[in-house]
Chains A and B, each alone.
Chain A
Amino acid sequence: MISQADGARDVARFVDGKSARSHIVSLEFAESAINLTSVDGEVWLWRYPSIRRLPAEGAGYLPVFSSLDMPDARLVLDDPALLAAFAERCPNLDALLKSNWRTFAVVSGWIGGAILLVALGYFGLPRLAASFAPLIPESWETRLGDRAEGSFEALLDAKPCLSGDGASAMEALVSRLSNASALEHKPHVQILRHAMVNAFALPGNRIVITTGMIAYLEGGDELAGILAHEMGHLQHRDVVTLLIDRAGWDALEAAIFGLRSTGEFGKTLLSLSYSRDVEARADQSAIATLAAAHIDSAGFEHVMRRFATRGDLNLSYLSTHPPSIGRAEAIAVAGKRGDPSMSPDEWTRFRATVLACAPAPSSASQ
């Protein structure tokens, strides 16, 4: 290019973005803009703040400029003196180059933040679960319990089963234990017709015991131990904590708002498993409850020892309540002697009532 002598006017190659036609333009640096004048007398005006240098990759480029006002127009300079004049007057000359790095940084920041949040939620939730559980309103818990019970009935194809003579013996025992425990209200105990040997604490102050469990038990003191243990779970709100912890918010939400089929929720509950610490805590509460009710804890210890030593497949109780000889030993140490929970006669009648309602005889009853 020809650089004119007066320095204020120089020439460059220009396309206007409307046509591929090249123009040779003379440049005039006015106060707020560059005036580009072609040889045919056409004039374009580029405001200084609108002028951008196009990002280039690698060496060997002539610098190319564009203007925000004419995004497809291009101005090519090959005179270093002109380049310096541009750099001096245009405040945003390298904004495009900077904005590339900036968008990358901003996007990376957002994505990194999102990943961090998810990770925090994932790893932090179990720790938070325990502190969240007390915040769940009682009405929610009641609804959860309703759904859970219904869900078990649907999942296990089992029906509630408690009536007549046996019922009153059980009610009396539950009242005695509940008065002795730290629970505010008497829990609602349901016997479910199913061969599975299991007992659960459910949200909303409920306990479910299967007919299979009654068949497995060898006396009223054992039943008292199991009930006291489940009441321990209720007292510490272990089920809700576990639901938040293991299954996460979606299971809880599904349980509350009913987004899933009832069977799903039952499955989730069955898949939950208490930790050793939670079990030990429920055991401690159970021992305290039994002592306060003057019931002998030997039956509780005995049934725990039986759970720990018999690897019976039908003992589903084991999967939700990890057993160990250690737990039985702990009960033996801390437990108190006391009265029987019910007379042998009462127990026989209660068991007979329940078994009359039970499904086909299960192997666990032997």
Chain B
Amino acid sequence: MASTRVRYNGRTGEIFGLSLWVGFVTLVTFGMYRFWATTRVRRWFWSRITIDGERLEYSGTGFELFIAFVKIAIVLAVVLIPLKLAKNFYGLSLMAAGIISFVNALFLGLLYVFAVYYARRYRLTRTQWHGIRGNLVGSSLDYLKLNVGYLLLTLVTLGVAYPYYRIATRRYLLDHTWFGDQKFSCTARARSLIGRWLIFLVVWLAFMGVFAFQVWDLERAQKGGLSSPIKGTGAPPFAWLLFLAIPVLSCLFISYRTAEFRVLADSFTFQNVRVSSGLSAWRILLFALKLCGAAALWLMATAFLGMIAMKALTPILQASLRGFGMAAVLPGGQVSPIIFLVLMIASIPAAFLFLLGGSVLMRLYYNGVLRRAVASLSFAGELEPDRIGQTREPVPRWGEGLLEAFDFAG
């Protein structure tokens, strides 16, 4: 029997060029272009996914995102500014400050959960295939309750129940996703993930324990005047721990996340199509390593460029100081303000490159993960487009607001 084919054909060079360009325009316009940049990047990502040979289409616009951003900015201002003022006025009392901080965090937390829900709904309704829109047909309140409940459970179990929280929330979103008038189905269970998660948790706790012991040991040595075994080396004794902990924990976490992806994919059905995924943690890990290498190279290039700029600027600096008849260090021991000015101007290109590199790398990361995730999928059964009608649920008019600000890749 023939099966549905899903392909991803996003080329690294293309997304590199596009994100470099939109990132440049965004920086030059002081961030104003961000909404339109996000839209263009999404349009690219969406259109590189084909289902049975037909491209996905992203039909959102930058203006929709902008309006939603303005709305959410107003809500934030209305709530956060009074809270901030209250903190200034009543902040002297520790109790009041605590309560205000709590209210603040609670508000932002609630907002974040709603933002995730509505952002997903917006993107789904702007995702079209054969002209048919996706949709998220659930209740944001139910989604909130689910989040609060499972987060409390995670808290009470000291993190052990985290996979249950993850799967429950993701399952809710997938299981309430519609394509046209047909519903997705997701029946994922977290049980099989517990093992992997516990390994991560135990190793994490072990590292934290060793780290805490080292700090305590160092403090004791300093207080008691005892000679620390590594005294004089300059590096704190726990530096090696970080070098070990970060890669080990990253590997374990990626391994957990890929398993989570497989569980979600394997329990997913739409019409007669069943999905399964053989995503390997190693492939994602190798890719992440490659990207880290690229990031390091970019950082080095940025630093190098900064140094060259400094070197080139030194004679200009000296000449301009001579021109103004000023010394680099003023009689009072103060450094001449011209030096600060020139240093500031010189650091702008480096900061620019740094920011640009960040957004480009983020999009390259999404591209690589998406390619590997889609390639790992296999499908059984065939889509029946003839049976899919247009969505009957309302389609939101404006964009997603808050979440767009955190989301670089689309």
Q: How large is the interface on A (under 10, 10 to 19, 20 to 34, 35 or more residues)?
A: 20 to 34
Indicate if the CB atoms of A58 and B18 lie closer than 8 Å: yes
* Interchain CB contact (< 8 A) of B388 among A20, A54, A107: A20
- Contacts of B24-70 to chain A: CB distance below 8 A: 29, 32-33, 36, 39-41, 43-44, 47-48, 55, 57, 59, 61-63, 66
The 4 closest A-B pairs by CB, nearest first: A20-B385, A20-B130, A20-B388, A57-B44
- Inter-chain CA distance A16–B386, complex, in Å, is 12
Q: Given known contacts A20-B130, A57-B43, is B63 in contact with A107 (CB within 8 Å)? A: yes
B264 interface hit (Cβ, 8 Å)? no
- Inter-chain CA distance A12–B131, complex, in Å, is 15
Indicate if the CB atoms of B33 and A19 lie closer than 8 Å: no
B129 interface hit (Cβ, 8 Å)? yes
A15 interface hit (Cβ, 8 Å)? yes
Indicate if the CB atoms of B66 and A72 lie closer than 8 Å: no
Q: Give the chain B neighbours of A74 by CB distance below 8 A.
A: 57, 128, 130-131
B14 interface hit (Cβ, 8 Å)? yes
> How many contacting A-B pairs (Cβ < 8 A)?
83
Q: Give the chain A neighbours of B62 by CB distance below 8 A.
A: 100, 103-104
B390 interface hit (Cβ, 8 Å)? yes
- Inter-chain CA distance A55–B126, complex, in Å, is 14
B123 interface hit (Cβ, 8 Å)? no
In the complex, per-residue mask of A71-100: 1 if CB is within 8 Å of any chain B CB, else 0: 011100000000000000000000000001
6 further contact pairs, Cβ within 8 A, besides A57-B44, A72-B132, A100-B63: A21-B388, A57-B47, A103-B36, A103-B62, A104-B33, A107-B32
Indicate if the CB atoms of A19 and B47 lie closer than 8 Å: no
Indicate if the CB atoms of B131 and A72 lie closer than 8 Å: yes
B389 interface hit (Cβ, 8 Å)? yes
Q: How large is the interface on B (under 10, 10 to 19, 20 to 34, 35 or more residues)?
A: 20 to 34
Q: Give the chain A neighbours of B133 by CB distance below 8 A.
A: 72
In the complex, per-residue mask of A15-29: 1 if CB is within 8 Å of any chain B CB, else 0: 111111110000000
* Interchain CB contact (< 8 A) of A107 among B44, B66, B386: B66
* Interchain CB contact (< 8 A) of B40 among A18, A19, A21, A57: A57
Q: Give the chain A neighbours of B386 by CB distance below 8 A.
A: 19-21
In the complex, per-residue mask of B110-137: 1 if CB is within 8 Å of any chain A CB, else 0: 0000000000000000001111110000
| 25 A-B residue pairings within 8 Å (CB atoms) | A15-B132, A17-B390, A18-B389, A19-B389, A20-B388, A20-B389, A21-B130, A21-B386, A54-B59, A56-B43, A57-B40, A58-B14, A58-B47, A61-B47, A61-B55, A74-B57, A74-B131, A100-B61, A103-B62, A103-B63, A104-B33, A104-B62, A104-B63, A108-B29, A108-B32
Most buried by A among B33, B41, B132: B132
Shortest beta-carbon distance, B87 to chain A, in Å? 18
Q: Give the chain B neighbours of A103 by CB distance below 8 A.
A: 36, 61-63, 66
Shortest beta-carbon distance, A75 to chain B, in Å? 10
B163 interface hit (Cβ, 8 Å)? no
Q: Give the chain B neighbours of A15 by CB distance below 8 A.
A: 130-132
* Interchain CB contact (< 8 A) of B180 among A20, A61, A73: A20
- Inter-chain CA distance A145–B191, complex, in Å, is 75
Q: Give the chain A neighbours of B390 by CB distance below 8 A.
A: 17-19, 72
Most buried by B among A72, A100, A108: A72
Shortest beta-carbon distance, A102 to chain B, in Å? 9
- Inter-chain CA distance A55–B256, complex, in Å, is 38
Q: Give the chain A neighbours of B36 by CB distance below 8 A.
A: 100, 103-104
Indicate if the CB atoms of A56 and B63 lie closer than 8 Å: no
- Inter-chain CA distance A266–B44, complex, in Å, is 60
In the complex, per-residue mask of B374-404: 1 if CB is within 8 Å of any chain A CB, else 0: 0000000000011011100000000000000
Q: Give the chain A neighbours of B43 by CB distance below 8 A.
A: 55-57
A64 interface hit (Cβ, 8 Å)? yes
Q: Give the chain B neighbours of A19 by CB distance below 8 A.
A: 132, 180, 385-386, 388-390
A155 interface hit (Cβ, 8 Å)? no
Shortest beta-carbon distance, A275 to chain B, in Å? 23
Question: Interface residues, chain B, CB within 8 Å of chain A?
Answer: 14, 18, 29, 32-33, 36, 39-41, 43-44, 47-48, 55, 57, 59, 61-63, 66, 128-133, 180, 385-386, 388-390
In the complex, per-residue mask of A210-238: 1 if CB is within 8 Å of any chain B CB, else 0: 00000000000000000000000000000
A8 interface hit (Cβ, 8 Å)? no
Shortest beta-carbon distance, B18 to chain A, in Å? 7
Q: Give the chain A neighbours of B66 by CB distance below 8 A.
A: 103, 107
For A19, the closest partner residue in chain B by CB is B389
Shortest beta-carbon distance, B128 to chain A, in Å? 7
* Interchain CB contact (< 8 A) of A58 among B44, B61, B389: B44
- Inter-chain CA distance A352–B54, complex, in Å, is 99
Shortest beta-carbon distance, B82 to chain A, in Å? 15
For A13, the closest partner residue in chain B by CB is B54
In the complex, per-residue mask of A98-116: 1 if CB is within 8 Å of any chain B CB, else 0: 0010011001100100000
- Inter-chain CA distance A107–B32, complex, in Å, is 9
For A106, the closest partner residue in chain B by CB is B63
Indicate if the CB atoms of B131 and A17 lie closer than 8 Å: yes
Q: Give the chain B neighbours of A61 by CB distance below 8 A.
A: 47, 55
Q: Give the chain B neighbours of A100 by CB distance below 8 A.
A: 36, 39, 61-63
In the complex, per-residue mask of A33-66: 1 if CB is within 8 Å of any chain B CB, else 0: 0000000000000000000001111110100100
Most buried by B among A21, A22, A73: A21
Shortest beta-carbon distance, A86 to chain B, in Å? 18
* Interchain CB contact (< 8 A) of A64 among B14, B33, B57, B63: B57
Shortest beta-carbon distance, B267 to chain A, in Å? 24
Shortest beta-carbon distance, B357 to chain A, in Å? 21
- Inter-chain CA distance A342–B132, complex, in Å, is 96
- Inter-chain CA distance A280–B389, complex, in Å, is 82
- Inter-chain CA distance A18–B180, complex, in Å, is 9
Shortest beta-carbon distance, A148 to chain B, in Å? 23
Most buried by B among A19, A54, A57: A57
Q: Give the chain B neighbours of A17 by CB distance below 8 A.
A: 131-132, 390
Shortest beta-carbon distance, A1 to chain B, in Å? 14
Q: Give the chain A neighbours of B32 by CB distance below 8 A.
A: 104, 107-108, 111
Q: Give the chain B neighbours of A21 by CB distance below 8 A.
A: 130, 385-386, 388
Q: Give the chain A neighbours of B55 by CB distance below 8 A.
A: 61
- Inter-chain CA distance A108–B130, complex, in Å, is 34
- Inter-chain CA distance A55–B130, complex, in Å, is 16
Q: Give the chain A neighbours of B44 by CB distance below 8 A.
A: 57-58
- Contacts of A249-274 to chain B: CB distance below 8 A: none
Q: Give the chain B neighbours of A107 by CB distance below 8 A.
A: 32, 63, 66
Indicate if the CB atoms of A73 and B131 lie closer than 8 Å: yes
- Inter-chain CA distance A332–B130, complex, in Å, is 92
- Inter-chain CA distance A17–B130, complex, in Å, is 7
- Inter-chain CA distance A58–B19, complex, in Å, is 12
- Inter-chain CA distance A108–B26, complex, in Å, is 12
* Interchain CB contact (< 8 A) of A20 among B39, B40, B61, B131: B131
Shortest beta-carbon distance, A40 to chain B, in Å? 12
